């Protein structure tokens, strides 16, 4: 397969979300009237450059997967906009959107549930080729064999069915299906979380190699911060439907500016026992508030260790913080991000660990 090439002079982000919202209605009563909304994604703005991998992390239920699906219009947004290569997806006709589907694909979390058990592997991988009329007959079969080889599977497996494969092999089939239409952008929706630890590294390395070989752009959604650090150019952190921090991967991991990011990083084991002993863990109090009724002001203040340390400032309870610059290539939605940056909570920063642009 030839590497993907972009038009000469192509500039600007490939994928953009601007104030994107996805609210799910809460229905109740005999007439099933609307009683409220679950604000799964509530005003997220995010851009991804061509060839870039943006990692997206956060606690379960924070809206990561919903955001990824809304950015390629697998989920209909409630508000805001999603643009691909400068085109607003909401303004496209069904035919135009169908043609654009070739350029954006998704790899699902469940490597078995996302594959039709009644179809052979060859038919699964060939289906998008047929849908977009890219090849037929012998050319189609050769394309399927090429894709299976590309993801590290023997082409003779094309006649087998999903239940005959391990979890890692099934995920490789999902990757082959996503690549069948030669996309530019792929949403990787927790692609390794359902796999054994021994297999995760293989699939992860496969995705990294494919990105380099084919010039792909990724939105990599995961809850494992160590994995996201390994694959991402930039990292975004979500909490209760909002993007609370985003920045260059190296900087965010060395100098997290949002209290929630510090809490997440403090849960990542450190291999060095001496470093682990010096580190101050963050144990968040209480449960995550309901996305149907988020707290006023900063949504994280009900569980925030920094809010307690600073004497419970009133603006944390009453004013929702903006996602603002707090350093080179880093933004955080926290009124007191500068205080978080200088805190010793959650991470250990040796003198040589801080990025050169830290100050």
Closest to 187 measured CA to CA, from 84, 289, 284, 266: 84
Can you read off the two tokens belonging to residue 37?
């909304």
On the question of pLDDT at 328 being above 90, the answer is no
Stretch 91-116: mean pLDDT: 90
The whole-model pTM stands at 0.87
Q: Average per-residue pLDDT in the chain?
A: 88
Q: Is residue 280 part of a domain?
A: yes
Give pLDDT, residue 45.
Answer: 96
Same domain, 200 and 284: no
Can you read off the two tokens belonging to residue 45?
């703005």
Give pLDDT, residue 285.
Answer: 81
Give pLDDT, residue 9.
Answer: 36
On the question of pLDDT at 14 being above 90, the answer is yes
Same domain, 55 and 201: yes
Q: Is residue 159 part of a domain?
A: yes
Stretch 109-125: mean pLDDT: 91
| % pLDDT > 90, the chain | 66
Instruction: Report how far residue 24's alpha carbon sits from residue 323's, in angstroms, rounded to the nearest whole number.
Output: 24
Which among 195, 217, 232 is the end of a domain? 232
Q: Is residue 6 part of a domain?
A: no
Same domain, 288 and 155: no
Q: Is residue 207 part of a domain?
A: yes
Q: Is residue 272 part of a domain?
A: yes
Same domain, 225 and 136: yes
Q: Is residue 27 part of a domain?
A: no
Stretch 88-117: mean pLDDT: 91
Give pLDDT, residue 276.
Answer: 65
Give pLDDT, residue 4.
Answer: 38
Whether the Cβ atoms of residue 59 and residue 263 lie closer than 8 Å to each other: no
Phi and psi (nearest 5°) for 25?
Answer: -70, 145
Same domain, 262 and 139: no
Q: Are strands 104-107 and 324-327 parallel, antiparallel or unpaired?
A: unpaired
Confidence of residue 353 (pLDDT cuts 50, 70, 90): very low
End-to-end Cα, the chain, rounded Å: 44
Condensed to tens digits (0 to 9), the pLDDT of residues 188-217 reads 999 988 788 878 888 888 999 999 999 999
Give pLDDT, residue 348.
Answer: 56
Give pLDDT, residue 349.
Answer: 53
Same domain, 195 and 56: yes
Q: Is residue 85 part of a domain?
A: no
Instruction: Report how far residue 47's alpha carbon sits from residue 59's, in angstroms, rounded to the nearest whole number.
Output: 21
CATH number of the domain that 168 lies in?
3.40.50.300
Condensed to tens digits (0 to 9), the pLDDT of residues 264-291 reads 988 777 777 776 677 777 888 888 899 9
Same domain, 208 and 320: no
3 state SS for the chain: CCCCCCCCCCCCEEEEEEEEEEEEEEEECCCCEEEEEEEEEEEEEEEEECCCEEEEECCCCCCHHHHHHHHCCCCCCCEEEEEECCEEHHHCCHHHHHHHHHHEEEECCCCCCCCCCCCCHHHHHHHHHHHCCCCCHHHHHHHHHHHHHHCCCCHHHHHCCHHHCCHHHHHHHHHHHHHCCCCCEEEEECCCCCCCHHHHHHHHHHHHHHHHHHCCEEEEECCCHHHHHHHCCEEEEEECCEEEEEEEHHHHHHCCCCHHHHHHHHCCCCCCHHHHHHCECCCCCCCCCCCCCCCCCCCCHHHCHHHHHCCCCHHHHHCCCCCEEEECCEEECCCCHHHHHCCCECCCCCCCCCCCCCC
Task: Domain count for the chain, please give it.
Answer: 2
Q: Is residue 130 part of a domain?
A: yes
The half-sphere exposure of 333 on its side-chain side, counting CA atoms within 13 A, is 25
Q: List all residues 6 or more positions away from 290 whose beta carbon is below 8 Å from its beta carbon.
A: none
Q: Are strands 324-327 and 330-332 parallel, antiparallel or unpaired?
A: antiparallel
Which residue, chain included where needed, has tokens 């439907």? 241
Same domain, 201 and 302: no
Confidence of residue 11 (pLDDT cuts 50, 70, 90): low
Condensed to tens digits (0 to 9), the pLDDT of residues 152-186 reads 999 999 999 999 998 889 999 999 999 999 999 99
On the question of pLDDT at 102 being above 60, the answer is yes
Structural domain of 164 = 50-64+90-232
Same domain, 271 and 176: no
Same domain, 228 and 105: yes
| % pLDDT > 70, the chain | 91
Same domain, 129 and 224: yes
Instruction: Report how far residue 325's alpha carbon sits from residue 212's, in angstroms, rounded to the nearest whole number.
Output: 30
Which residue, chain included where needed, has tokens 């084919």? 214
On the question of pLDDT at 359 being above 70, the answer is no
Sheet holding 79-84, edge to edge: 33-49, 13-28, 79-84, 87-88
Q: Which residue has the higher pLDDT, 329 or 197?
A: 329
Length reported for the chain:
359
Give pLDDT, residue 13.
Answer: 93
Give pLDDT, residue 354.
Answer: 40
Same domain, 112 and 182: yes
Closest to 202 measured CA to CA, from 152, 258, 275, 254: 152
Give pLDDT, residue 316.
Answer: 96
Instruction: Report how far residue 276's alpha carbon sits from residue 245's, in angstroms, rounded to the nearest whole number.
Output: 24
């Amino acid at each position: 397969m030839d590497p993907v090439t972009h038009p000469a002079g192509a500039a600007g982000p490939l994928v953009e979300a601007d104030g994107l919202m996805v609210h799910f209605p809460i229905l109740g009563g005999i007439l099933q009237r609307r009683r409220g909304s679950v604000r799964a994604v509530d005003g997220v703005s995010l851009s991804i450059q061509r060839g870039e991998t943006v990692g997206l992390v956060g606690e379960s239920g924070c809206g990561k997967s919903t955001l990824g699906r809304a950015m390629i219009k697998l989920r209909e947004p409630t508000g805001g906009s999603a643009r691909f290569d400068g085109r607003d997806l909401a303004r496209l006709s069904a035919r135009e959107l169908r043609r654009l589907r070739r350029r954006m694909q998704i790899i699902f979390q469940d490597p078995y549930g996302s594959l039709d058990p009644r179809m052979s592997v060859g038919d699964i991988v060939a289906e998008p080729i047929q849908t977009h009329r890219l090849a037929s007959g012998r050319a189609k079969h050769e394309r399927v064999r090429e894709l299976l080889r590309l993801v590290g599977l023997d082409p003779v497996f094309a006649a087998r069915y999903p239940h005959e494969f391990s979890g890692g092999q099934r995920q490789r089939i999902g990757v082959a299906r996503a690549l069948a239409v030669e996309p530019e952008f792929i949403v990787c929706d927790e692609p390794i979380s359902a796999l054994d630890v021994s297999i995760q590294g293989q699939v992860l390395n496969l995705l990294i190699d494919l990105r380099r070989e084919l010039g792909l752009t990724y939105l990599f959604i995961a809850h494992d911060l160590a994995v996201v650090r390994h694959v991402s150019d930039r990292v975004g952190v979500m909490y209760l439907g909002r993007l609370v921090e985003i920045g260059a991967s190296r900087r965010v991991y060395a100098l997290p500016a949002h209290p929630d990011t510090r809490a997440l990083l403090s849960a990542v084991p450190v291999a060095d026992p001496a470093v682990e002993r010096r580190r101050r863990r963050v144990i968040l109090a209480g449960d995550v508030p309901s996305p149907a009724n988020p707290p006023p002001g900063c949504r994280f203040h009900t569980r925030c260790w920094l809010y307690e340390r600073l004497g419970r400032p009133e603006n944390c309870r009453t004013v929702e913080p903006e996602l603002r610059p707090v350093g080179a290539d880093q933004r955080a939605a926290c009124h007191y991000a500068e205080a978080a940056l200088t805190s010793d909570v959650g991470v250990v920063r040796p003198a040589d660990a801080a990025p050169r642009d830290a100050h």
